[in-house]
């Protein structure tokens, strides 16, 4: 199905990814060993999470990683902040941990595999639509993006983007069974996974020159599969917590303030996030950096609309816009890393000047990684 034997640029991309992975792991360890870890931040997190002794290993167990570790070992329970995290990633950690017997190692092994598989599908997808050079540079930009280090952490971004790129590739190739399997799993990975129905639905009702299938016979089963995956999520939450809405109700424990009601009041959202607020360089909800990333996303939409398949525009529109409109930009820099059409546009624009863009992006990523490794907030 995917023949890597005659893909020298893909092999080069995977080798670069391996070097970056090892570099990231080394930076995490050295940061935790030589720099002051915010142990007070660690201890002030939710009290039911496992409290580990201080040491460099804590740099591998920051923020969301602690929740995934907890869920992989304990599952969901009523009225816990961890209920906000979707189940597929902790399920997979739990399965692998039956062999590895260390949830942190299991999580890092999984995200490493997910990243490489994601790069393979991204390469084949972009090569199918453009050429091998654009595919290579799209992969490079996906690795250099300032928050791409989350692909290497015990976070669900790598799993989500692996499933998304696989879905789009199989959809493009009319491999309906494989595409449907991905569509089923995506809503079990992250809450925004349900938004996959948007490009599927729009592909059937808006005429375009898209290379993706537009017929109802092919696309409707994929749409149903996505909805069924979301239904499985609700069923799992109901059986484990007593309420299908536990994950959404758990938002009350976080300062992000994510709510579907915010989508209905865009003017109030704008006033709250841009006018009636004292901004800081970077913090949970007042970050100038998050808002600059949002501005960059809005600018990228023009390039995506003009130069990419319209299906990618629909995907980028909802995956980049909805997380911002739901709340107050908390973690927006991280949410943007799964909007892969941005990487394609960067590849199209900067393919002949890539070092001038990739090197600064990667330097920014290293800075963010060090801050995150010390348990300070990045995204």
> For residue range 38-97, what is the model confidence (pLDDT) as tens digits?
887 777 677 777 666 666 778 998 889 999 999 999 999 999 999 999 999 999 999 999
What share of the chain has pLDDT > 90, as a percent?
82
Beta-carbon contacts of residue 141 (< 8 Å; ≥ 6 apart) = 342, 343, 346, 347, 350, 354, 357, 358, 361
CA distance 40 to 69: 20
Residues of the chain with pLDDT under 70: 1, 44, 50-55
CA distance 353 to 215: 39
Instruction: State the pTM of this model.
Output: 0.96
Domain boundaries along the sequence of the chain: 8-256+353-373
> For residue range 222-240, what is the model confidence (pLDDT) as tens digits?
999 999 999 999 999 999 9
* Helices of type H across 101-156: 103-129, 132-144
- State the DSSP H helix or E strand holding residue 25, giving kind and residue range, or none if neither: helix 8-34
CA distance 232 to 228: 6
> For residue range 325-343, what is the model confidence (pLDDT) as tens digits?
999 999 999 999 999 999 9
With tokens 């890539």, the residue in question is: 354
Nearest to 280 by CA among 324, 322, 330, 336: 330
């Amino acid at each position: 199905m995917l023949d890597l034997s005659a893909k020298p640029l893909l092999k080069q991309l995977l080798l670069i990814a391996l070097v970056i992975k090892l570099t990231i792991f080394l930076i995490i360890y050295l940061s935790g060993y030589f720099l002051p870890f915010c142990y007070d931040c660690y201890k002030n997190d939710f009290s039911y999470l496992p409290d580990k002794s201080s040491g460099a290993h804590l740099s591998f167990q920051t923020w969301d990683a602690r929740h995934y570790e907890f869920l992989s070992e304990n599952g969901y329970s009523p009225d816990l902040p961890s209920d906000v995290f979707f189940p597929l990633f902790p399920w997979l950690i739990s399965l692998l941990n039956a062999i590895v017997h260390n949830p942190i190692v299991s999580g890092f092994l999984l995200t490493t595999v997910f990243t490489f598989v994601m790069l393979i599908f991204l390469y084949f997808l972009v090569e199918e639509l453009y050429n091998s050079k654009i595919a290579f540079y799209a992969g490079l930009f996906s690795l250099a993006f300032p928050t791409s280090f989350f692909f290497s952490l015990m976070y669900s971004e790598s799993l989500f983007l692996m499933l998304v790129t696989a879905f789009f590739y199989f959809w493009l190739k009319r491999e309906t069974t494989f595409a449907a399997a991905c569509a089923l799993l995506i809503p079990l990975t992250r809450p925004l996974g349900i938004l996959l129905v948007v490009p599927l639905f729009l592909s059937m009702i808006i005429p375009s020159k898209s290379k993706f299938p537009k017929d109802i016979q092919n696309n409707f089963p994929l749409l149903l599969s996505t909805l069924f995956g979301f239904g499985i999520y609700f069923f799992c939450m109901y059986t484990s917590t007593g309420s299908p809405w536990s994950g959404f109700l758990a938002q009350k424990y976080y300062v992000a303030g994510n709510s579907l009601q915010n989508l209905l009041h865009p003017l109030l959202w704008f006033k709250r996030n841009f006018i009636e607020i004292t901004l800081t360089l970077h913090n949970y909800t007042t970050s100038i950096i998050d808002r600059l990333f949002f501005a960059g996303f809005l600018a990228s939409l023009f390039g995506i609309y003009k130069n990419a398949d319209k299906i990618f525009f629909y995907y980028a529109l909802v995956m980049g816009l909805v997380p911002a409109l739901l709340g107050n930009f908390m973690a927006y820099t991280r949410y943007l890393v799964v909007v892969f059409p941005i990487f394609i546009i960067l590849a199209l624009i900067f393919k002949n000047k890539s070092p001038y863009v990739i090197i600064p992006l990667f330097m920014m990523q290293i800075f963010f990684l060090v801050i995150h490794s010390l348990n300070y907030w990045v995204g």
